[in-house]
Structure 1
Amino acid sequence: MSASFGPTSSPFTRAVVNSMRRIYPESLADKSFDNTGLLLEAPLNHARRQRNSVLLTIDLTKAVADEAIARKHSVVVAYHPIIFRGLKSLTFNDTQQQSLLRLAQEGISVYSPHTAVDATPGGMGDWLCDIVTGAITSSSSNPEVIPSSSKLYSAPTYPQPGPVSFSSASAIPHIKSTLHPSPPPIPAGLEDAGMGRLVTFNDPQPLTTIIDNIARGVGSPGGIPVAIPQSATVNTIMIRTVGVCPGSGSSILLKGVSQIPDLLFTGEMSHHETLFAVENGSVVIALAHSNTERGYLRAVMKEKLEEALKQEWESSRKEGLKAGAAEMKEAYEDAECAVHISEKDRDPFGIMIRRM
């Protein structure tokens, strides 16, 4: 049998993978624990092609998989890897494996960039710095509300960042550095790559100012979890340095640093690590793991991927049509190229506010 008839993913899927690798080089990911790259390569079904579209999400949940299937996307770009450790089987007994099997059946591939996004200059770490300094604000779109019959607490809300605006002129004067630079070799032009960022303000700033910046940047969540030293109050604390890390940041913000920053801004931190930071005079803001990540998809990644993908797909189409492969002619003739943000993606934790 000719090799041209062997299993293959769609040309558009390959264009998406190439684009993501160019924007967020996989070599920058922390491979000591992470699992990044093309995690599910679904075969092309010529009789039932998917749309030339991508769905961006933080987590690939059953609800997101349903969304991708209903909208006939070709690729799900899930920031968090749905396959994190080695699998010994693929069955319907595990809900995540169910999603993978269903997506493969529908011809939908899955790509995960994870820590490559954290380390890349202009990635998630730098976006959090822009939030802290007030350069980025996000209007809150309608937060998802789950009905509650509780008489003591409101229904849980899940922040959903709306349209974003960026203005370097509005940022508090500061310098920014990388906490843990990536080891060589580093791709040209990405010399500042690495895990974690440190913002150093020219002048100390009130903690309340930074909290307001964070709230506006991530979509005004229903509450801001903050840990402060017992000898201080929120209104009296001044902040000169801020360590930022999306997701779970303790290993980046507390280990291997010469001095703990005045403020640690991350998604989650363990009880004992938080106590350690607070007892050393620092403040911790932990918004729930993916609330420090989700807004980046809308604020930065969508536009970056759209621009790179349009160029990549146009180039691939020209080469494919020129090559004249009959079985791929219909796929290459489709000029559609779109990137969408998941409407179902959300952090597992919502906030229920006590009724007054």
Structure 2
Amino acid sequence: MRIADLTNFLESWAPLSYQESYDNAGLITGNPNDEITGVLVSLDCVENVIEEAIEKKCNVIVAHHPIIFKGLKKITGKTYVERTIIQAIKNDIAIYAIHTNLDNIKGGVNFKISEKLGLQNPRILAEKTDQLMKLTVFVPTPQTGPLLDALYAAGAGDIGNYSNCSFRTEGKGTFKANQQADPTIGKRGIYEEVNENRIEVIFPAHLKKKVLRGMREGHIYEEIAYYLSVLENPLQTVGSGIIGELEEELESMDFLQKVKENLNVSVIRYTDIIKPKIKKVAVCGGAGGFLLPQAIGQKADIFITADYKYHEYFDADGKIIIADVGHYESEQFTKELIRDEILKKFTTFATYLSEVKTNPINYLF
């Protein structure tokens, strides 16, 4: 099994196009054509994680956080980033990062946190826009079914919890083939009118090549009349954070205690308890302060995230409880999420959870 087989699978699960502009998800070091000897899954990739991979005979590390966020002008071993990269290359270890693209998918990092907290009906807190396209294509009426089947198989036509979604209108297509054409219908030099359907389907933008390939395979015309449109509609399964409800509302301090226990958190920093009971909960693993307006707007009782600065706590403004559980603590279960997804697909190589605690922060009680 090649490294490319693993990375292709991971990118079908969490497409790279869903990462934030500042991010660096994807294959960072390594040859995609190398055979996999073993995979080590970690939250971070630092020097002692490379050493652990060597000990476990793993030549692939799948980490949540990229070891490189910005360009390196020199690689001399001066910093921990440079030393990690040098060590990985010397030992033929591939490093793959699956970061904000995994944060942003349904079933991703934030959904794992919601699962740990027992939230019901979890859904994206801030859906992404400009991630959808619409294909409009014209096809002879009798070939409508085969074309739609090909488009659906390529990933088009999904809207929320519904699949095989399309719209069609009947009309008359006209054309005249020149002497170089090889028409499926009609003859060269003869004006034709054909009963056609105008088909419209939407699809995630990252599937554009696949959907167009499906269209060509499912169509009978030599020259296909179609056009693409970029949509501003939000993609319901992609975006930042989640919001959900507790099965039964809890006293605020009881819920904070539950958070502490279920997320294995040492310390929670929180604002004034302005809500006596908690029912609706917003969550964003890692640094999620940018989602506070959405959490307030959707009337969450509490917003669980990390990396809040002193003055930012004032932004709660008597409207919501902010609970900072710590960056590492909020994302520590991401390793399980990645490992479990890999094991669903691959059984020909060993996949391990890293035993190295990469949290750079310690607490004195």
TM class, shorter-length: 0.5 to 0.7
CA RMSD of aligned residues (A): 2.6
Which of these residues, 298, 315, 318, is aligned with residue 280 of structure 1? 318
Map of 1:351 onto structure 2? 363
2:277 is the alignment partner of 1:238: yes
Structure 1 position 26, deviation (Å): 1.4
Picking from 12, 18, 22, the partner of 1:28 is 18
Structure 1 residue identity aligned to 2:335: L
Would you say 1:305 and 2:329 are equivalent positions? no
Distance 1:43 1:306, change over 3 A: closer
1:60 aligns with 2:50: no
Task: Supply the distance in 2 between the matched residues of 1:82 and 1:260 (Cα, whole angstroms).
Answer: 36
Deviations 1:174-211, CA, capped at 9 Å, x for gaps:
43331211232387668422111112347642223322
TM-score of the pair, normalised by structure 1: 0.68
1:227 to 270, 287, 296: 270
Q: Which one-letter code corresponds to 1:39 in the other structure?
A: I
Equivalent AA in structure 2 for residue 348 of structure 1: P
Amino acid in structure 2 at the alignment position of 1:69: I
Structure 1 contact 131–213 (Cα < 8 Å) conserved: no
Aligned residues of 2:3 and 2:33 also touching (Cα < 8 A): no
Contact kept, 8 Å, 1:196 with 1:253, in 2: the verdict is: no
Where 1:104 maps in the other structure, the secondary structure is helix
Match of 1:18 in 2: 8
Provide the rounded CA distance (Å) in 1 between the counterparts of 2:81 and 2:255: 37
CA-CA distance at 1:260 after TM superposition: 6.1
Residue 180, structure 1, aligned to residue 126, structure 2 = yes
2:124 and 2:44 map into 1 onto residues whose CA distance is 26
CA distance in 1, matches of 2:335, 2:114: 15
How far apart are the structure 1 equivalents of 2:127 and 2:3? Answer: 31
| Kept after mapping to 1: 8 A contact 2:47/2:84 | yes
Distance in 2 (CA, whole Å) between partners of 1:272 and 1:259 is: 23
Structure 1 residue 44: deviation in Å?
7.2
Higher strand proportion: 2
What 5-or-longer segments of structure 1 have no aligned partner? 1-10, 135-170, 311-335
Q: How does 1:83-98 map to 2 (within 5 A)?
A: 83-98=68-83
Q: CA separation of 1:281/1:120 partners in 2, compared to 1, >3 Å: closer, same or farther?
A: same
Whole-Å separation in 2 of the counterparts to 1:42 and 1:352? 43
Q: CA deviation at 1:53?
A: 0.9
- Deviation per CA, 1:144-186: give whole Å up to 9, x if none: xxxxxxxxxxxxxxxxxxxxxxxxxxx6xx4333121123238
Does the aligned pair in 1 maintain the 2:243–2:281 contact within 8 Å?
Answer: yes
Q: Does 1:211 align with 2:256?
A: yes
For the 8 Å contact 2:41–2:339, the answer to whether it is kept is yes
SS in 2 for 1:269: coil
Greater Cα radius of gyration, structure 1 or 2: 2
Identity across aligned pairs (percent)? 23
1:102, 1:175 → 2: CA distance?
44
Cα displacement string for residues 247-288 of structure 1 (whole angstroms, at most 9, x for unaligned residues): 1110123469635632111122121112221x3242222122
Residues 1:212 and 1:12: Cα distance change in structure 2 (over 3 Å): farther
Shift of 1:212: 3.4
